[in-house]
């Protein structure tokens, strides 16, 4: 690749989406998909140019759910933003909490007690299971399997949400983690209930796999669909199951060892082809790995405090400086970038959303496919608009 | 991984014209960043990506920061010659007075890039670039030709901060709608007045409405 500047000031040779040849007869049909369409998983719009049924251009349009979350973060105190992070990726509020807590702890040099780390791992892995189950269910829904696989997934997800509710008081907006620990302690009864739920997960996944994995329609519509090459995936900053489906071994739980992830035995499932089916399969396998982590964590969880005694929540003023904390959220790398000027609220509060960055290559994946397959490819990215638009 | 000082030396060896500065980070995270002059930002970034030892193939995070004009008040001791009447005789006496002097450090917009290497699993290397001011000279080189992940994120920075990335293939607003003026994440942004939901126009609202009539939407930044 060479990078030369043209007279127009544009660089040639960048990783641009391929140009699709159009047939000479007939003109392009421009379709606006969304924002209110069940397949867009929220309020998201794609401007698609079609040649017959083939997609020749696709431009995503964002901002329907934009509420300037980052500016709110710069006017509120550090602790006030914790419940707000629940509303980013509202499927995975606990991992959002953790990413934010991690960034603030990095900024202030705050330690976290052992038991709290274990609780965080347990909750994050439960979140991953329910997110991946729902993502697979929604993918099947986008394929036209009306309801059944999604309801199977939601039945399992509901059991996990019940656990969240009994611990934090809320099914989805958990607001549970604090800088230097967690808000309330888990009881032995809760741990037993969690063990029971975790023991039931493999059976559910097997059931889901028996329904879907070798289904003829699913194979026909997912294999070889929306192929993403590993070098483009790395260059475009794609993370999470999307990246690992292309075969790149990059899981922040293994790379950064944030929290206490270096203590657990688990493997990172990798795909080979980078198509929709691999993304589906990586998610299924990640559920199995999460179950492994959960079994270890639920067995080893020690007794002790859940808040660091030196942690200060009210009047919390970190020293001037900055920190970038990132975790492996179910959808990819979720990062928080904070700049402190010594005041009670951050000078700059930035979220690196995995959903938005993973959409960068949506056009590349969809070009040349039929318009009906755009829905499937888009469904396999697994996004939540609360996080894309912030 | 190399330390920030070593990376700075490597950049200076590879791109001798570039000015590199280390921006210290006071927090316990101690992630120091490198400030690159905008003119050579692209060449430096290309070096960081292609260098065999660093191989920063993954651009994780792109963001902007708005630094306002800073007014710094310094107390300076000044000696004046004052004529005074001492013991009935007029004489010129030297007197030292403390005076407050103000000077304004002009603000700037800053783009911050967080790089990692997926190949060697190291990072982060943090790069910063600054614009000359906050009003008319807000151009920075785009890194989208090097890392595709900057495509939407730079559009977002352009949208919310107003940094113009030259060389970006498709620089449009990302989250706000077309035709929106002003940049919502700047520190001096004022929300537009919305009178639609005011049931009665009383004194204070009326005054705001009159002020608003001569003004476009937003805080009135004239640079767009």
Q: Where are the domains of chain B?
A: 1-66+109-224, 71-103
pLDDT at A3: 38
Q: Say if B120 is an interface residue toward chain A (CB within 8 Å).
A: no
Q: What is the pLDDT of residue A8?
A: 41
Please tell me the distance in Å from A312's CA to the nearest CA on chain B. Answer: 16
**Tokens found for residue A119:** 């609780």
Kindly report which listed range (A139-143, B20-24, B182-186, B202-206) carries the lowest average pLDDT score.
Answer: B202-206
Rg (CA), chain B: 25
Helices (H), A109-175: 114-142, 148-168
ipTM value, please give it: 0.85
Predicted local distance difference test score (pLDDT) of residue A193: 92
pLDDT at B196: 55
| Same structural domain, A140 and A12 | no
How do residues B142-152 score in pLDDT, each as one tens digit? 888 888 889 89
- Contacting residues of B for A337, CB less than 8 Å apart: 61, 63, 112, 114
Which residues in chain A have their CB less than 8 angstroms from residue B59's CB? 237
Say what the pLDDT of residue B198 is: 53
Domain span at residue A209 reads 69-388
- For residue B219, pLDDT beyond 80: no
- Using a CB-CB distance cutoff of 8 angstroms, which residues of chain B are in contact with residue A340? 27
Of all residues in chain A, the one with the smallest CA distance to B114 is: A324
Read off the pLDDT of each residue in A287-304 and give the average, rounded to a whole number.
91
Quick check: A108 pLDDT over 70? yes
Place of tokens 């089916």: A277
Q: Which pLDDT does position A35 carry in this prediction?
A: 82
Q: What is the pLDDT of residues A196-229, one digit of tens each?
A: 999 999 999 998 888 888 888 888 888 888 888 8
User: Considering A28, A61, A94, which residue would you say is the last residue of a domain?
Assistant: A61
pLDDT tens digits along A112-139: 999 999 999 999 999 999 999 999 988 8
Residue pairs spanning A and B at CB distance below 8 A = 131
Q: Which CATH number describes the domain made up of B1-66+109-224?
A: 3.30.460.80
Nearest CA-CA distance, residue A127 and chain B, Å: 23
Residue B33: closest CA among chain A residues belongs to which residue? A322
* Least reliable range by pLDDT among A272-281, A319-328, B190-199, B206-215: B190-199
Based on the fold, state whether residues A34 and A81 are members of the same structural domain: no
Does residue A15 have a pLDDT over 70?
Answer: no
Of B29, B112, B185, the CB nearest to A71: B185
Are the C-beta atoms of A298 and A194 separated by less than 8 Å? yes
B190 to chain A: nearest residue by CA? A71
Task: Judge: B175–A389 Cβ closer than 8 Å, yes or no.
Answer: yes
- Shared domain for A247 and A324, answered yes or no, is yes
Identify all chain B residues contacting A180, using CB atoms and an 8 Å cutoff.
none
Looking at A18, A35, A61, the residue that finishes a domain is A61
For residues A89 and A174, the answer to whether their CB atoms sit within 8 Å is no
Cβ of B163 under 8 Å from any chain A Cβ?
no
What pLDDT band is residue A14 in, cutting at 50, 70 and 90?
low
One domain for residues A255 and A327:
yes
| Claim to verify: residue A200 and residue A87 sit in the same structural domain | yes
Say yes or no to pLDDT of A11 above 70.
no
Q: Are B29 and A340 within 8 A, CB to CB?
A: no
A11 and A137: one domain? no
The count of domains in chain A is 2
CA distance A57 to A54: 9
Q: A187 and A318: one domain? A: yes
Contact A14 B124 (CB under 8 A): no
CA atoms within 13 A on the CB side of B213: 5
Residues A239 and A286 in one domain: yes
Q: At A250, give phi and psi (nearest 5°).
A: -145, 95
pLDDT at residue A7 tops 50: no
pLDDT confidence of residue A364: 87
Q: Which residue of A has its CA nearest to B144?
A: A14
B interface test, pick of A237, A248, A325 with most B CB neighbours within 10 Å: A237
pLDDT tens readout for residues A217-267: 888 888 888 888 888 888 888 999 999 999 899 999 988 888 889 899 999
Question: Which of A357, A361, A389 minimises the CB distance to B153?
Answer: A357
> Per-residue pLDDT for A290 more than 70?
yes
Q: pLDDT category, B201, cuts 50, 70, 90?
A: low
What pTM was computed for the model?
A: 0.84
Residue B22 confidence (pLDDT) above 70: yes
Instruction: Decide: residue A302, CB within 10 A, 0-12 exposed, 13-18 middle, 19+ buried.
Output: exposed
CB nearest to A71's CB, from B149, B173, B184: B184
- What average pLDDT does the segment B91-107 reach? 80
Give percent of chain A above pLDDT 70. 94
Least confident of A107-121, A349-363, B72-86: B72-86
What CATH number should be reported for the domain holding residue A306?
A: 1.10.645.10
Give, in order, the Cα–Cα distances in Å from A237 to each of A121, A334, B11, B61, B151.
Answer: 25, 12, 23, 9, 10
Residue A2 has pLDDT above 60, yes or no: no
**Alpha-carbon distance B151 to nearest alpha carbon in chain A (angstroms):** 7
- Whether the CB of B192 is below 8 Å from some CB of chain A: the reply is no
Percentage of residues in chain A having pLDDT higher than 90 = 33
Q: Tell me the nearest-neighbour CA distance from A93 into chain B, angstroms.
A: 21
What number is the average pLDDT over the span A77-105? 91
Answer whether B60 sits within 8 Å of A352, measured CB to CB.
yes
Lowest mean pLDDT among A20-34, A186-200, A327-341, B146-160: A20-34
What confidence category does residue B214 fall into, taking pLDDT thresholds of 50, 70 and 90? low
Q: What is the pLDDT of residue B52?
A: 83
Together in a domain, A278 and A206: yes
- Minimum distance, in Å, between the CA of residue A119 and any CA atom of chain B: 24
By three-state DSSP, how is residue A248 classified? coil
Shared domain check, A99 and A50: no
Q: Are A231 and A371 within one domain?
A: yes
Whether A13 and A146 map to the same domain: the answer is: no
Which of B109, B149, B169 has the most A C-beta neighbours within 10 Å, making it the best mutation to test the interface with A? B149
Across chain A, mean pLDDT equals 86
From A35, A61, A87, the end of a domain falls on: A61
- pLDDT range class, residue A5, cuts 50, 70, 90: very low
pLDDT at A52: 82
């Amino acid at each position: 690749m060479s990078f030369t500047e043209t007279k127009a000031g544009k660089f040639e040779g960048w990783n641009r989406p391929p140009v699709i040849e159009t047939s000479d007869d007939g003109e392009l049909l421009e379709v606006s998909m969304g924002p209110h369409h069940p397949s867009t998983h929220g309020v998201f719009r794609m401007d698609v140019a079609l040649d017959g049924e083939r997609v020749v251009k696709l431009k995503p349009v964002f901002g329907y759910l934009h509420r300037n979350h980052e500016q709110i973060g710069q006017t509120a105190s550090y602790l006030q933003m914790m419940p707000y992070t629940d509303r980013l990726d509202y499927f995975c509020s606990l991992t959002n909490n953790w990413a934010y807590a991690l960034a603030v702890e990095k900024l202030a040099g705050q330690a976290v007690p052992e038991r709290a780390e274990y609780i965080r791992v347990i909750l994050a892995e439960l979140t991953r299971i329910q997110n991946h189950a729902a993502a697979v269910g929604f993918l099947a829904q986008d394929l036209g399997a009306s309801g059944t696989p999604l309801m199977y997934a939601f039945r399992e997800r509901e059991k996990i949400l019940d656990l969240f509710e009994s611990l934090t008081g809320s099914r989805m907006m958990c607001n549970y983690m604090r800088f230097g620990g967690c808000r309330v302690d888990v009881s032995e009864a809760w741990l037993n209930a969690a063990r029971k739920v975790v023991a039931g997960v493999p059976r559910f996944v097997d059931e889901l796999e028996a329904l879907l994995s070798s289904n003829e329609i699913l194979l026909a519509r997912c294999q070889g669909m929306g192929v993403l090459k590993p070098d483009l995936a790395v260059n475009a900053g794609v993370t999470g199951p999307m990246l690992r489906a292309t075969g790149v071994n990059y899981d922040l739980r293994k790379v950064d060892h944030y929290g206490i992830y270096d203590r657990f035995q688990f493997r990172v499932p990798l795909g080979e082809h980078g198509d929709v089916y691999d993304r589906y399969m990586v998610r299924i396998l990640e559920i199995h790995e999460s179950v492994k982590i959960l079994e270890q964590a639920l067995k080893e969880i020690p007794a002790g405090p859940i808040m660091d005694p030196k942690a200060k929540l009210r009047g919390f003023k970190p020293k001037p400086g900055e920190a970038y904390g990132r975790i492996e959220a179910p959808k990819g790398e979720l990062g928080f970038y904070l700049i402190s000027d010594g005041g009670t609220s951050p000078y700059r509060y930035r979220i690196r959303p995995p959903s938005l960055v993973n959409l960068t290559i949506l056009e590349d994946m969809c070009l040349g496919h039929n318009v009906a397959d755009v829905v499937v490819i888009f469904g396999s990215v697994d996004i939540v608009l609360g996080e894309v638009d912030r | 991984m190399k330390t920030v000082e070593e990376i700075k030396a490597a950049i200076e060896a590879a791109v001798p014209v570039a000015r590199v500065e280390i921006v210290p980070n006071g927090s316990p995270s101690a992630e120091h960043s490198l400030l690159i002059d905008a003119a050579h930002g692209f060449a430096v970034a290309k070096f960081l990506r292609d260098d065999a030892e660093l191989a920063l193939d993954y651009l994780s995070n792109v963001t902007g920061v708005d630094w306002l004009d800073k007014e710094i008040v310094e107390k300076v001791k000044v000696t004046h010659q004052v004529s005074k009447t001492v013991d009935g005789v007029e004489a010129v006496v030297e007197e030292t007075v403390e005076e407050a002097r103000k000077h304004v450090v002009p603000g700037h917009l800053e783009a911050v890039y967080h790089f990692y290497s997926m190949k060697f699993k190291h990072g982060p290397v943090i790069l910063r670039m600054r614009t000359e001011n906050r009003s008319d000279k807000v151009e920075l080189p785009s890194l989208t030709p090097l890392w595709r992940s900057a495509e939407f994120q730079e559009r977002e920075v352009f949208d919310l901060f107003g940094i113009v990335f030259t060389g970006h293939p498709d620089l449009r607003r990302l989250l706000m709608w077309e035709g929106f003026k002003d940049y919502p994440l700047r520190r001096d942004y004022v929300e537009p007045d919305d009178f639609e939901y005011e049931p009665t126009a009383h004194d204070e609202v009326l005054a705001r409405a009159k002020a608003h009539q001569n003004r476009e939407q937003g805080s009135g930044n004239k640079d767009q």
